[in-house]
Structure 1
Amino acid sequence: MGYVHYGSIKSIAKQFDLEASLLDIWHISQLVSEERRLPYGYADLEQRGHFALRQWVFPHHLDLLLRELVLHGCRSGRPKMSLATWSGLAKILKSISQFADAMFDPDEPDAVRLMLHRIGHQQVPSFDVLSKSKVGRYLSLYRSEPLARIFESKLGINVENYFALAFAVLAGFMRAPNLNTATNFEAVGVSVEESQPFFARLVTHVDEARQRLFKAQSLTSSWEYTLNAVHSRPILNVDGSHPERVYCPIPSLLERRLFSGLFFDLVGSDGGFVNAYGAAFDCLVGRILEAGNPGCSVRKPPEYYVKKSRKDGSDWLLFDDTAHVFIECKTKRMTASGKVAASLADVRGQIQFLADAVVQNYRNIADALVGCWPFEDGGLPSYSAVVTLEDWVIFSPVASSLLNELVTDGMRRGGLPEDLLVRVPYAVMSVSDLEAAMGAINSNSVDAVFRGRLASRYSGWMFSSYLNDKYSGTRWSARVGFDKDFDRAVERVLAGADRALRKGQGK
């Protein structure tokens, strides 16, 4: 059944010119993500209404559209259809939607629960828009020594130059869908020896992208959610005789690759990358906590011994005169298999890591509560928080229920008092959530923010959703200063561009 339906997508996709479609997808992505009006030549789409199209087409639709057109779009002959027309855009998106619906089998084990999990990982990241604080956070992370030295050794470019070039390239693709990788970036202090390896990790020819997509393709119930291989190299070359001429049809994919995706360029490096990465993240979390209001205190729990075994305890302790929060920092992210979730076992395997981190922190908390190191709770409530670098999107009932089940099982197997789950409630949150939580604490209290999450109406909610609902509008990033880190990096790019412009005018 799946192959029959998928043939309709292939036959329709073959009627679109691939290169022209890359341009069309860029324009539509700018409308969908940036509210930028479509240019002249898209009158047929405009007639449907500028905002009406945005209500019908979403970022994940464009992701699927790009994937299928790279797989099957034509590169020779006369195309019969165009994404610049309503009939063309609607026809191919409808075929994709119909096939995705046909692939869903409600009789599969845990079908609905797995579908909700996949939807979360497919769509939630598109709401995490580019911001000064977000880029500045990654800049601060990789500046940390010795991670910065490993970064330069592995990538052949130092952290400052990488971020200057990343911003320049991303800004270029926000203005136009194409770029020449042979561009001289010396105006922003980046040499050709640095820029070429930079692009080599991001650019792929469409034929290579097509091969990787075919290899990853799965005509099963998870078809719609299978990881798009274009994500790892979101800049595409169509003409092999001119490899310097490239397109970036969806700039948001490039943004994720440039910053969040840096991890995959560095993981496996020699020289203690894992320890350096973890230490850098620990410092990043500390920077957020230490920017707190005068009523909050932050400390590093001391090392201690249990039966001659050395223990480090939780990574951070946040407290005020209302509550304590034991914080454990984790850099691991959910793998592709856990997001695609072909089976419940794939999700369980990933959620097990988070459960282990929660149990590890409960072990630290249990030691503190029995006096293994000088800790006095003063009769105040305590909370456990596992802070991750990337958002694990604990969005679906299958993920949240699995986490609770595995944590409870881990407590039992570890001989820990199960009533700790009630006495010291736990939360899993991203570092972005932590920033927002500190903003909420600034105008409330530690106990108010962490206790509020326990209300029945927020049961099963991600921490970010809870904060957005209860403390919407709270800003904290300006106080931490990540946005200032971003501004300084941008000023360098803008100054270099201004110098280049003045030099050109002088000629």
Structure 2
Amino acid sequence: MQFDQPLPEQLKNNPLRLGQSNLKAGLHGHLVELLAREVILNGQSRGGKPLNTADAAFKAMGMIHRLDDKSWGLHGSRSDDIILQLSRIAFQQFPWQSPLTNGVLARYHMLYAHPLVGPMVEAEFGMSTGELFQLILLFAEEMLQRPTLAFEFLPAAEQSIRAPVLALSDRISRSSDDLRTATVERQSYDVNWAYSFNPLRAFPLVHAGNPRSLMCPAPPILLQRLTDGLYFDLIRADRRFGSAIGKAFEHYVGKVVERIGVDVFNLREETCWGKPERRSVDWIVSDNSASLFVECKLGRLDIASQTEISPEPPFVAAIGRLAGNVGQLYATLSEALAGGYPHWKPDGRPVHPIVVTFHEWFCFGPFFYKHLDELVDTEFEKRGLDRALLKRHPYCVCSIAEFEGLLTAGRGANIDIVVSEKMSAAHRQSLMRGFLADRYPGSLSNAMGTFEDGMDLVIEGPSRLTRR
């Protein structure tokens, strides 16, 4: 599904055999993930009915879908929580609609290969960032052939890399019994049933007792664990990692602007001055129409914030952290507009503040913006900021993937036209990617290839895995 490959014949239902889309055939990534979780939880180790045909698999996924609907129907506060429900559906389903491309892999590689981060990767995993991403590509190739990892490349690799590869395999694998125990501990039999944490997210490789005989029930989760999931390994291993990866993300955003906006955008990086030291916004991106004040935030959402419905939803607390980022951005914007920046002065052209996150927050709808706006008001009061700034310079929040699309659209039109339209009453609460797809077709897909060539350096680079 993620690599646009047809299913084996035995797993195709009639709509798929007739050439209909996965959507029309009822084949959804999030249902496959839930199916894997339920098989680990309820499947028999030996005997029992096989689950290797379309009839059995689609029947089980249909039951999962109906059970999810039933749990929502029995939720007593569903009328109050319906808007929050839409947000968590986005967190559950939207990522499956965005396969891991070379451009996305290159983005992660640039982060982990940054001079501040690369040494931490090597210290923790015993291999360079380049070798780690070569391993990801080798795993992906094997996963396209079979549901097991055979490590066919390992006998030809240098002896010194074999132990780190096996150590990484042990780190992200567990026995089916261990995963079942972990699933029982995290399972929730209420409105959160279909959204509770899936241990496969932490341990995507499964074995039945022999750690060298590994199955991968959901290959995209394996690739996610070896890209996004590395954050948790590294943040536990080195207290300096949080600051280092933040700097790496800021650097990546600058490289994106340079690549997309060559000969069109003027880019000013963060500047420090004065005693005590003062700092500007991370990046100022300008063209002939306006300036973008860009604050880069790697901050991520924990699983509870993405999925849990409760009297005090964790998502609201997470939005509070984002409101703090917005307040920080306006504090520095206020100083800049008063002429306090040494490297930029107001010139009468519009200024648009924007917070760019590395991870997807799926910023859309009344639940998100109602809470964010209220919490931003609190931030303004705490910081003593003029609320008139919000009307003169309304803020925007988007992910790095959306920001790349925004820059691409701005290159074709201009910054002021694109951002002003997005921040209008008609589009402010829309998802940025939806707005761009509707108003600037092609901007997102073109942006996906910004660093498509970034993986060439990985493939062609030195490696103990391929003896180059």
**Fold shared, TM-score > 0.5 on shorter chain:** yes
Counterpart position of 1:298: 267
**Structure 1 residues 391-414: Cα deviation after superposition (integer angstroms, max 9, x where no partner):** 112244312221122112211222
Match of residue 99, structure 1, among 50, 67, 71: 67
Counterpart position of 1:386: 355
Counterpart position of 1:135: 105
| CA 1:160–1:496: 2 relative to 1, 3 Å | closer
Counterpart position of 2:248: 280
| CA 1:173–1:494: 2 relative to 1, 3 Å | farther
- Alpha-carbon shift at residue 340 of structure 1 (Å): 1.2
**Structure 1 residues 332-363: Cα deviation after superposition (integer angstroms, max 9, x where no partner):** 10111101122243111111111100110000
Matches within 5 A, 1:150-165: 150-165=120-135
- Alpha-carbon shift at residue 370 of structure 1 (Å): 1.2
- Alpha-carbon shift at residue 494 of structure 1 (Å): 11
For 1:449 and 1:495, how far apart are their aligned partners in 2? 47
Counterpart position of 1:231: 201
Counterpart position of 2:370: 401
Counterpart position of 1:322: 289
Instruction: Please say if residues 114 and 341 of structure 1, whose CA atoms lie closer than 8 Å, have aligned partners that are also in contact.
Output: no
- Alpha-carbon shift at residue 52 of structure 1 (Å): 5.8
Counterpart position of 2:141: 171
Amino acid at match of 2:447: W
| CA 1:50–1:295: 2 relative to 1, 3 Å | closer
Amino acid at match of 1:75: S
Runs of 4+ in 1 over 3 A off after TM superposition: 40-50, 185-190, 491-497
Instruction: Please say if residues 44 and 85 of structure 1, whose CA atoms lie closer than 8 Å, have aligned partners that are also in contact.
Output: yes
Amino acid at match of 2:384: G
Matches within 5 A, 1:459-498: 459-474=428-443, 475-478=446-449, 480=450, 482-491=451-460
- Alpha-carbon shift at residue 106 of structure 1 (Å): 5.0
Counterpart position of 1:120: 90
**How many residues are matched?**
460
Instruction: Please say if residues 401 and 448 of structure 2, whose CA atoms lie closer than 8 Å, have aligned partners that are also in contact.
Output: no
Instruction: Please say if residues 250 and 282 of structure 2, whose CA atoms lie closer than 8 Å, have aligned partners that are also in contact.
Output: yes
Q: Secondary structure at 2:356's aligned position in 1?
A: strand
**Which stretch of structure 1 is more off in the superposition, 143-152 or 296-305?**
296-305
User: Which structure's CA Rg is the greater one?
Assistant: 1
Instruction: Please say if residues 281 and 295 of structure 2, whose CA atoms lie closer than 8 Å, have aligned partners that are also in contact.
Output: yes
Amino acid at match of 1:433: E
For 2:171 and 2:215, how far apart are their aligned partners in 1? 15
Instruction: Please say if residues 161 and 189 of structure 1, whose CA atoms lie closer than 8 Å, have aligned partners that are also in contact.
Output: no
- Runs of 5+ consecutive residues of structure 2 not aligned to the other structure: none
For 2:265 and 2:195, how far apart are their aligned partners in 1? 42
Instruction: Please say if residues 301 and 315 of structure 1, whose CA atoms lie closer than 8 Å, have aligned partners that are also in contact.
Output: yes
Instruction: Please say if residues 154 and 465 of structure 2, whose CA atoms lie closer than 8 Å, have aligned partners that are also in contact.
Output: no
- Runs of 5+ consecutive residues of structure 1 not aligned to the other structure: 1-29, 501-507
Matches within 5 A, 1:28-427: 30=1, 33-42=2-11, 49-51=18-20, 54-55=23-24, 56-79=26-49, 82-86=51-55, 88-104=56-72, 105-108=74-77, 110-181=80-151, 184=154, 186-187=156-157, 191-238=161-208, 240=209, 242-270=210-238, 272-291=240-259, 292-305=261-274, 309-343=276-310, 344-374=312-342, 375-427=344-396
Percent identity of equivalent pairs: 26
Instruction: Please say if residues 234 and 254 of structure 1, whose CA atoms lie closer than 8 Å, have aligned partners that are also in contact.
Output: yes
For 2:172 and 2:330, how far apart are their aligned partners in 1? 41
Instruction: Please say if residues 304 and 372 of structure 1, whose CA atoms lie closer than 8 Å, have aligned partners that are also in contact.
Output: no
- Alpha-carbon shift at residue 177 of structure 1 (Å): 1.0
Instruction: Please say if residues 121 and 393 of structure 1, whose CA atoms lie closer than 8 Å, have aligned partners that are also in contact.
Output: yes
**Which stretch of structure 1 is more off in the superposition, 182-191 or 432-441?**
182-191
For 2:404 and 2:54, how far apart are their aligned partners in 1? 43
**Which stretch of structure 1 is more off in the superposition, 151-160 or 389-398?**
389-398
For 1:467 and 1:189, how far apart are their aligned partners in 2? 49
